[in-house]
Every structure is written in structure tokens, then in C-alpha cells.
């Protein structure tokens, strides 16, 4: 019997913003399932990318590599990039230095608000 993945992934667009919403565990076993959906985030006309990881319950180094990959792909687009992060992800961010240009938001609403 195949192992069930402990992650769910949804992709949607709000204007020029591609949103990748992930819930569950981000680890070596689940990141490939998330990576499959990345092309949808970077559809034509994307001016911003938000990784909504508020529903992530566990994040390993593989999840952090995914965030770095999203950041690099956004810069190549070019598109702005931000992460909505709950405690499992922000806990790792506190331990590790984030690459320049990654903005962390407390909610998806905050991430989507126009910058002032």
C-alpha cells in the first residue's frame, strides 16, 4: 500500500499574484509533491509570489530549500516574494538567517496588501 503524504497543496492567483498554499508537513518526503505545482505559481503575468505556509505543522531543511527555490525563481521572473509563516516555519527562520529579499508576513491578507 502506498504511503499517504501528510501535505496538501493548492495554487491560486489573485490578480498578478501567484499563491502557493501548503498545509501539513514539509519534509524530504513531501516537498516533491509541492514542487510539482510550482509551474502553476509562475504562470504568465505573475508579478508577485506568496508562499502561504501558515498551515504547515512541521518544516525540515527540505522545506527551507523549497522556500529558497521559490525565492530564486521569483527573482528570475522577476516577481516579488513573500512567505506567510506560522510557528513551525518562523521557528526555523529565527535559527537561520533568511536570504535577502524574503518578506515574512503573519497572514495572507497582510501579504496581499498593497505596500505603502
Three-state secondary-structure class, residue 14? strand
**Is the model more confident about 1 or about 70?**
70
Residue 26's pLDDT band (cuts 50, 70, 90): very high
With vertex at residue 15, the alpha carbon angle to CA 12 and CA 21, rounded to the nearest 5 degrees, is: 25
How crowded is residue 78: how many other Cβ atoms within 10 Å of its Cβ? 9
> What residues contact 76, with CB distance under 8 A and at least 6 apart?
none
Q: What are the cell numbers at 49?
A: 509570489
- pTM higher than 0.95: no
Which pLDDT tens digit goes with each residue over 69-105? 999 999 998 999 999 988 878 777 777 766 666 888 9
Residue 98 has what pLDDT? Answer: 67
**Predicted pLDDT of residue 89:** 80
Average pLDDT of span 24-52: 91
Q: Kindly compute the dihedral angle of the four CA atoms of residues 73, 57, 7, 97, in this order, to the nearest 10 degrees.
A: 20
Amino acid at each position: 500500500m502506498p504511503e499517504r503524504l501528510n501535505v496538501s497543496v493548492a495554487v491560486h492567483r489573485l490578480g498578478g499574484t501567484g499563491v502557493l498554499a501548503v498545509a501539513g508537513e514539509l519534509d524530504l518526503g513531501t516537498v516533491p509533491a509541492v514542487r510539482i505545482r510550482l509551474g502553476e505559481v509562475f504562470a504568465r503575468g505573475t508579478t508577485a509570489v506568496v508562499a502561504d505556509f501558515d498551515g504547515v505543522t512541521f518544516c525540515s531543511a527540505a522545506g527551507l530549500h523549497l522556500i529558497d527555490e521559490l525565492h530564486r525563481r521569483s527573482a528570475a521572473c522577476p516577481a516579488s516574494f513573500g512567505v506567510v509563516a506560522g510557528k513551525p516555519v518562523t521557528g526555523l527562520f529565527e535559527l537561520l538567517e533568511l536570504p535577502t529579499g524574503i518578506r515574512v508576513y503573519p497572514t495572507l491578507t497582510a501579504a496581499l496588501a498593497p505596500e505603502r
